Structure 1
Amino acid sequence: MLYKRILVPFDGSEPAKNALEVAKKLIADDADAVMHVLTVVPAGAVAAELEAPDGPGSATPMIFPDMESYERVIARAKETAMDELNEALGSRLDDVACDVQVGAVISGKAADGICDYAEANGCEIIVMGRRGLGALRGMLGSVSYAVLHEADLPVLTVK
């Protein structure tokens, strides 16, 4: 087995599902390998929810009385993202022999969240879906394009 620590960013899209299947084939039946499946919560989405006590659009910005309150809100956002990720994954990982680590991070840019997670967890390769969004980004989506240029490890994009 060439790679023992694979990161699969997963957003529930068809390309992400295809990337997960490719990663499963790369891992094969290696019980010593680790597959990380990650969802990235945009920091802007969390900020919009926290904008004000009466919800987005109300006039008064939310102010946290202490760091503990802030951490609780962030933990709740990650927990919600994890629930959605686990639901989207369903039984897709039931046939995997290796250790699977499912995680969520909050990041201003999805590519930064993916690259930071890969580095922090010693991942050896990122296997991710790509989307064709026009000539500006070639045949890649903007997140996969950014990860290809920012990551310090191999990136395999899957259509």
Structure 2
Amino acid sequence: MLCSKILVPYDGSALAKKALEKAVKLAQTDPAIEIVVAHVVTIPALPDPAVTVIQTLEEHIFKEGEAVLAEAKEALAGLPNRTEAILLEGHPAPVILKLANESGSDLIIMGNRGLSGLREFLGSVSHSVVHHSPIPVLLVK
């Protein structure tokens, strides 16, 4: 068996969709392969007087996150394999790495770039995951 549990960080981008397709194809080779799809949302920090704005923003961000995961769940629906789709909060790269460790994943499949417009300035999530992951990472272009 190539792997037993695949973690797919999913942000709804075209490359994330390709990564999920690759994971599904691998899982179709063996029904024992599990797939965990994770979408990570980041809640921006705002000053205390903006509490209502923060609550409204959080609700919107989580609602959008659920919509992104619903799309991923649809792609997994026909698989006989065990699958899970989860919504997490935090900075994507460390959250992905922590989840990979805690879930017992032995392969991460992700797009080589996602939706972040600040990727060039801050460094990409995929770059960080590749350089810090103790397990293999397959980047999809």
Same fold (TM over 0.5): yes
Question: Which residue is 1:53 aligned to?
Answer: 51
Q: Which residue of 2 aligns with 1:69?
A: none
Whole-angstrom CA distance in 1 between matches of 2:112 and 2:22: 13
1:79 Cα deviation (Å)?
Answer: 5.5
- Unaligned stretches of 5+ in structure 1? 57-61, 63-73
Counterpart residue number, 2:80: 97
Pair 116,88 (structure 1): closer, same or farther in 2 beyond 3 Å: same
Task: Normalising by structure 1, report the TM-score.
Answer: 0.71
Partner of 2:68: 85
Q: Deviations over 1:11-66 (max 9, x none)?
A: 1111000000111111125332210000011142xx3498623415xxxxx9xxxx
Deviation at 1:90, TM superposition (A): 5.8
What is the CA RMSD across the aligned residues, in angstroms? 3.1
Q: Partners in 2 of 1:16 and 1:50 — Cα distance?
A: 35
Greater per-residue helix proportion = 2
Secondary structure at the aligned position of 1:52 is classed as helix
SS of match in other structure, 1:55: helix
**C-alpha spacing 1:17/1:115, structure 2 compared with 1 (3 Å):** same
Q: Relative to 1, partners in 2 of residues 1:116 and 1:78: Cα closer, same or farther, differing over 3 Å? A: farther
Higher-Rg structure is 1
Gaps of 5+ in 2: none
Is it true that 1:122 corresponds to 2:120 in the alignment?
A: no
Q: Percent identity?
A: 33
Which segments of structure 1 move beyond 4 Å, counting only runs of 4 or more? 48-51, 76-79
Matched residues, number = 134
